[in-house]
Chains A and B, each alone.
Chain A
């Protein structure tokens, strides 16, 4: 598989803050890759490095065999940033034409607008569009230049269900024609609907890079906490991924909460204040990294 884009040991700092920490990632031709992670995880920084808006503090970024800072190389990509702030005074068609004029073999205006359900809006001024319509236009613009690779930073934020589905269809059609997609999202279901491969990013690092299915299993993680008396008599419990004790309260992260609770009861240790709650994907991964750091195995 040839890599269309790649980072090698990329670190990016903003002053003292470390946004990306030695990230190495290959984006293969024809892939749909979902970047998943909490706010401030480094997803947008990673996208900004790929599209040439930022340069790495150290490490290298390669795009279509060249450098992202080379405009000629960028003819092969399309971008939807997290915020676009489309010029309010211009008409939809005028913005499409403006973006299109940068590319040697662009999609036709009507084809592009049709693909994203925007045909009726071509003559409307952007200032008069709804938030969802603006977002659809912003995503459509990424495809205007007939790119090989698109970067979509939270493409469906603020969209209703129907608009989201239209957009997903547009992205799938692009992928079916051999296009490569990198998209970020907070939502596992969005990534699941589009991507086969998920890269989980948190605190500037890649925590997992796997199939959607594998990541979803990891995400089925629960937090179990209780006060045990005494803590020292607690036996080894099954399936514990992370383990901390704070003020006598035991906090566990596990992939199988049911089995853990059964074992806890059978152990005969007195406990109180039992809590079992699902973790968000983000929490699960933070817990996983915390335990990975605490007990390298």
Chain B
């Protein structure tokens, strides 16, 4: 089974890296946001710079999970290669695991430019254990967005997935306080923010890299979003299977 998971992951990684549009898109947004929103404004405030870097890493992960995954799945479903792979002697797990591992790998690749910009152009500082903790928080915080990506990918045709995932992405990132720090936003946005998943994932990230205590309500909301997205993702997957393969 491990061998098959590796084979599927390798197969999908090769596709992603040979036509690296998804990887470039996932790396581009956070790098540009970093240069526009973080570098000029954090000045010599090391804590603010570190926090902003963590936010931008999360933006990259969200892009890979929400936009990248949904579009890849929606496109795959339209290709005859997909039913062919289903005739091979493997259940759904290797292909599914391959998708998740590939998305994780792209997430980690996409944050490298952000880390480089942070190191060269800002006062952001971090210890190695906190950086590792931050990468773990990144993976955990991206889970609801991966599930949303799965949901959209199995529900929509590829053009629909491109549109809906991008439309969903920006408001989620902004209301989560990832583009601009929340203290610059109106008070009602700060309150609203607590109920959206990017805020909870952000709290996790900031906690991991700076040690700032996370807001419990935001974490609770994150858990609810994760559970709800999981239910929707499973529903969309089964619906798609039932339509095309029953």
| Interface, chain A (partner B; CB < 8 A) | 51-55, 71-75, 77, 79, 81-87, 89-90, 94, 97-99, 101-103, 125, 145
* One of B57-65, B83-91, B222-230 contacting the partner: B83-91
Give the distance in Å from the alpha carbon of A74 to the alpha carbon of B85 in the complex: 12
B interface, how many residues as a size bin?
Answer: 20 to 34
Is A74 a contact of B88 with CB atoms below 8 Å?
yes
- Which of these binds chain A: B3-11, B31-39, B149-157, B175-183? B3-11
Are B15 and A52 in contact (CB-based, < 8 A)?
no
Q: Does B211 contact A (CB under 8 A)?
A: no
Known: A81-B87, A84-B80. A54 touches B246 (CB 8 A): yes
Query: With contacts A79-B84, A98-B8 known, what are 20 further pairs, Cβ within 8 A?
Result: A51-B87, A53-B245, A54-B246, A55-B246, A73-B89, A74-B87, A77-B87, A79-B87, A81-B84, A83-B80, A85-B79, A85-B81, A89-B14, A89-B15, A90-B18, A94-B14, A98-B11, A102-B7, A102-B89, A125-B18
CB distance from B228 to the nearest CB of A (A): 30
Shortest B208–chain A CB gap in Å is 35
Cβ-defined contact, A103 with B89, below 8 A:
yes
Whether B91 and A71, one on each chain, are in contact in the complex, defined by CB atoms closer than 8 angstroms, is yes
Instruction: Give the complex CA separation of A145 and B83 in angstroms.
Output: 17
Most buried by A among B15, B19, B87, B89: B87
Contact between chains at B88 and A99 (CB < 8 Å): yes
Question: Which residues from chain A contact B246 at a C-beta distance below 8 Å?
Answer: 54-55
Q: Are B15 and A101 interface neighbours, CB within 8 A?
A: no
A99 to B86, CA, bound (A): 11
Report yes or no: A86 in contact with B81, Cβ–Cβ below 8 A. yes
From A77, which residue of chain B is reached at the shortest CB distance? B87
Cβ 8 A contact of A75, one of B14, B19, B89: B89
Inter-chain contact count A-B, CB under 8 Å?
A: 66
Nearest B residue (CB) for A51 = B87
Q: Which residues of B contact A84 (CB under 8 A)?
A: 80-81, 84
* Contact A52:B11 (CB < 8 A) given known A85-B80, A86-B81, A89-B19: no
Taking a contact as CB atoms closer than 8 A, the residue among A71, A77, A125 that contacts B90 in the complex is A71
- 5 A-B pairs with C-beta separation under 8 A: A79-B84, A85-B81, A87-B15, A89-B15, A102-B88
* Contact status B84-A72, CB under 8 Å: no
| A98-B90 Cα distance, complex, nearest whole Å | 12
B 194-215 contacts with A by CB, 8 A: none
Query: A residues within 8 A CB of B245?
Result: 53-54
A51 to B89, CA, bound (A): 10
8 Å CB contact of A71 from B7, B18, B19, B89 = B89
Nearest CB of chain A from residue B83's CB, rounded to whole Å: 6
How far apart are the CA atoms of A86 and B246 in the complex, in Å?
23
When distances are taken between beta carbons in the complex, the residues of chain B under 8 Å from A82 are 80
Pairwise interchain contact A89-B3, C-beta atoms closer than 8 A? no
A81 touches B80 (CB 8 A): yes
Please tell me if the beta carbons of A81 and B88 are within 8 angstroms of each other in the complex: no
Rounded to whole angstroms, the CA-CA distance of A75 and B90 in the bound complex is 9
Contacts of A99 in B (CB 8 A): 88
Q: Closest CB of chain A to B233's CB: distance in Å?
A: 22
Q: Are B3 and A101 in contact (CB under 8 A)?
A: yes
CB contacts under 8 Å to A, within B65-80, are: 79-80
CA distance in complex: A98, B14 (Å): 11
Q: Which residues of B have CB within 8 Å of A125?
A: 18
